[in-house]
Amino acid sequence: MSLAAEAFVSQIAAAEPWPENATLYQPLKEDQILLSDSASSLAVQTFLRMCGLPVQVSCRSNAEYMSPSGKVPFIHVGNQVVSELGPIVQFTKAKGHSLSDGLDDVQRAEMKAYMELVNNMLLTAELYIQWCDDYTATEISRPRYSSPYSWPLSHILAYQKQWEVRRKMNAIGWSGKNLEQVYEDVSQCCQALSQRLGTQPYFFNKQPTELDALVFGHLFTILTTQLTNDELAEKVKSYTNLLSFCHRIEQTYFKEHDRESQSGSSRHSKGSLP
């Protein structure tokens, strides 16, 4: 959206309180959703739970096309539609709910820097593994992405998405990397996060912020998703404070919904943490 439109929307947003029927849309959980989208969606859900805002999760096969920016997840609140964690954080802030108000300027700078680190490294690595690694792309990503559609549309859409992602990887210089280097980058990113977290319960003081939601979303999804091999999960598991961080947030914010949201024997998700 252009900046003027954004200002207009946030003014409207501030006028109404959070409704009861807010909905979050994501691709189909059992068959369609991929690792990166699942991570982003979980991050948004965690953030909204941390703010204490109720939201219903609705799975649609065309969620990506409904979204205003083409990216999932997006939330439908009142008569506005907002996608991606950054704009959603701003939107909830306009409505008066914010997790990072208690931070001073330097801490806010750090929080934004770490959120960029997660987006830059973890999300890009997830996209790379899903779409640029031929084996994973053929076995998992393309079949899952195109599962709601029949041939030949499925064929076309899957290859189109793969081409798009590969183009982006090319532009940012990741196409020259091999899988080992990507795993190494993930490991370094987790090391940085682990060092920043230290022994604290959350990244900043004792209160969770959107950074905690984002990190939880990505790490939990990596740990509970079955890919062609377990190397990615192993890299994350080697940092024990990150594991206990994930456990803690799962227990605090998702415990009461655990039984309801447990998916059946789906090949993709393993359910709760090992």
Query: What's the distance, CA 90 to chain centroid?
Result: 17
**DSSP letters spanning 196-239:** HHTT-SSSBTTB--HHHHHHHHHHHHHHHB--SSSHHHHHHHT-
Q: Is 188 in the site for another protein (CB under 8 A)?
A: yes
Q: Is 80 in the site for another protein (CB under 8 A)?
A: no
Q: Is 101 in the site for another protein (CB under 8 A)?
A: no
AA letter at 169: M
Closest distance between another protein and the C-beta of residue 135, in Å?
A: 25
Among 29, 60, 196, 237, binds another protein (CB under 8 A): 196
Closest distance between another protein and the C-beta of residue 60, in Å?
A: 18
Closest distance between another protein and the C-beta of residue 257, in Å?
A: 31
Residue bearing tokens 């699942």: 38
Among 168, 237, 248, 270, binds another protein (CB under 8 A): 168
Q: Is 113 in the site for another protein (CB under 8 A)?
A: yes
Three-state SS at 50: helix
Q: Is 156 in the site for another protein (CB under 8 A)?
A: no
**Inter-residue contact 88 to 75 (CB < 8 Å):** yes
Residue 87 or 225 with smaller CB distance to another protein: 87
Burial status of residue 191 (CB atoms within 10 A of its CB: 0-12, 13-18, 19 or more): middle
Among 20, 79, 152, 198, binds another protein (CB under 8 A): 198
Closest distance between another protein and the C-beta of residue 2, in Å?
A: 6
